[in-house]
Amino acid sequence: MMKKVFEISVQVGQPVLVGQDEVSGRRQLIPILSGQLSGENINGTVLPGGVDSQVIRPDGVCELSARYAIRLDDGEGLYIENNGIRTVPDAYVDQVKNGAFIDPELYYFRTTPAFEVYSERYRWLTRHVFSCQAKRFPDRVVLEFFQL
């Protein structure tokens, strides 16, 4: 049974295009600027300096690997490595390949996070498997984290 443990709303900057062609797809880096983590017994602030590294393949599927640093409200640190995939219906592939915004209700966006913690209080995050459901908006990403 899945249990929602927290949500993160991440403010992101404009994508930085690294390169694009019809073989490799579109490689872009999206800066993570700030944000908030909110949950039951765990809250904090997303620190600047993270990045969401993405490859949007020629078929429109996005492979992503994001890194977030969080300063929890009690002063502890939390590091999240979040890898996953976003797929959109064929009708929207060309728009996605060009960096356009697509309504989050129209696509699949899931990740598998891994946590690095520095306190026994949060060690439970490293002893369970989690899944994340995400929604991408023009200026932010909303991530819901579930313990499996």
Average pLDDT for the chain:
93
Domain spans of the chain? 3-147
* Cβ count near 86 (within 10 Å): 22
Q: Residue 82's closest CA among 46, 57, 118, 58? A: 46
Q: 8 pLDDT band (50/70/90 cuts)?
A: very high
Q: Write the pLDDT tens digit of every residue in 17-40.
A: 999 998 999 999 999 999 999 999
Residue 103 pLDDT > 90: no
pLDDT in the model for residue 18: 96
**Cβ 132 vs Cβ 113: under 8 Å:** yes
Q: What is the CATH number of domain 3-147?
A: 2.40.160.20
139 is written with which tokens? 């200026």
Q: 97 pLDDT band (50/70/90 cuts)?
A: low
In whole angstroms, how far apart are CA 24 and each of 20, 53, 55, 57, 63?
7, 14, 8, 6, 12
Q: Residue 30's closest CA among 57, 12, 47, 10? A: 12
Q: Residue 26's closest CA among 59, 67, 68, 65? A: 59
